[in-house]
Each structure stands twice: as structure tokens, then as C-alpha cells.
Amino acid sequence: MAVKLSKLLFVILLFSNLSCAVNAKDFEVSRSEIISHAKEKVNHSQKELDETIAKCRDNLPFIEKQKINNYDLSNEELFTALFYLSDKAITECEKITWGSYIFELSVLRSIEKHYSSPVTKTTDHEKLLLNNYWRKIKLELEYLNIDQPKRALIENDDLFKKPFDAVMTAKKLGI
């Protein structure tokens, strides 16, 4: 009986060791696979982001002078409003794809950290998003300094709800 039990224990131990060995092998394979899969996801979302950025920023129309109503804004206020509303429309246009890109990149970095692999450095896309973010906030605060009723008039104008070229619009307005 004792011999049978020890044989059974031996078999159990043997299988459990084999199982550990298989898991260890799986772990090694999985690590590289997981990192490479996460990188693929980043590349995929980056490709989508590039397409979105091109769609939201390239060849933007400017707004013609005759289409712009009198919003009772000074030239300086109108200049600020044009840049702010253009920024806002572009941000809205790109937001979802930025979200998934930053998400996939954060996931990749957390996996790289977890496996003590070299962590992906700041990408050019992140630089595009974040280099000037402080200026976006500054611009927003400058815009919010304009009287609310005046802001409401220009904000409710459909002309400014889609991405447009603020620089060229300002130039055409002579401001």
C-alpha cells in the first residue's frame, strides 16, 4: 500500500514538475509575443491616428470674410476666438483616435516595465500632442476672458464647429 502511494506521489510530482516546465517555456514565449503584439497594436493605432490627423489638419478651408457675422469682438478678441475655436474643432475631430493611440502606448509601456524590457521612448506623435498643450490651456483661458454673451454668439455659429484654417482666416480678415 505504502509503495503504491509513494508511486502515485512520484507520478503526481513528476507531472507537476513537467507542468511547471511547460509554464516556464510558455512564459518565455509569451513575453516576447505579448510585447510584440502590444507593439503591433500601437503601430495599428498610430496608422489610424496619422490618417485622422491628415483628415483633421490638412488642406483646411478658411472662412471667407463675407460669411463672418458681426460678433461685436475687437480684432484681438476675434483673433483669439478664431485660434481657440479652430483648436477646439481639430481636437474634437482627432480626440477618439488620440485616445486609442495613447491607450495602446500606455499598455505597451506597462508591459515593457512589467517584463523589465527597455521602455518605449516619447514618440513624435506624443510630442505633437503634448509639446504645445500648455499653450492650448493658455489660449483657452485667454478665450474665456472674452465676455460670455460675445463668446456664445461665435460659438453657436456652425462655421466654427468644423476644423478650419485660423491663420488663413485671420489673414483674409486682415487681423
Residues forming contacts to other proteins in the complex (CB under 8 A) are: 50, 53-54, 57, 76, 79-80, 83, 124-125, 127-128, 131-132, 135, 139, 166-168, 170-171, 175
CB of 23 or CB of 145, closer to other proteins: 145
Q: How far is the CB of 80 from other proteins (least distance, A)?
A: 8
CB of 85 or CB of 111, closer to other proteins: 85
Q: How far is the CB of 153 from other proteins (least distance, A)?
A: 21
CB of 58 or CB of 116, closer to other proteins: 58
Q: How far is Cα 108 from Cα 14, in angstroms, rounded to an integer?
A: 37
Under a CB-based contact definition with an 8 Å cutoff, are residues 155 and 85 in contact? Answer: yes
C-alpha Rg value of the chain to the nearest Å: 28
Phi, psi of 58 (to 5 degrees): -85, 145
Q: How far is Cα 109 from Cα 90, in angstroms, rounded to an integer?
A: 27
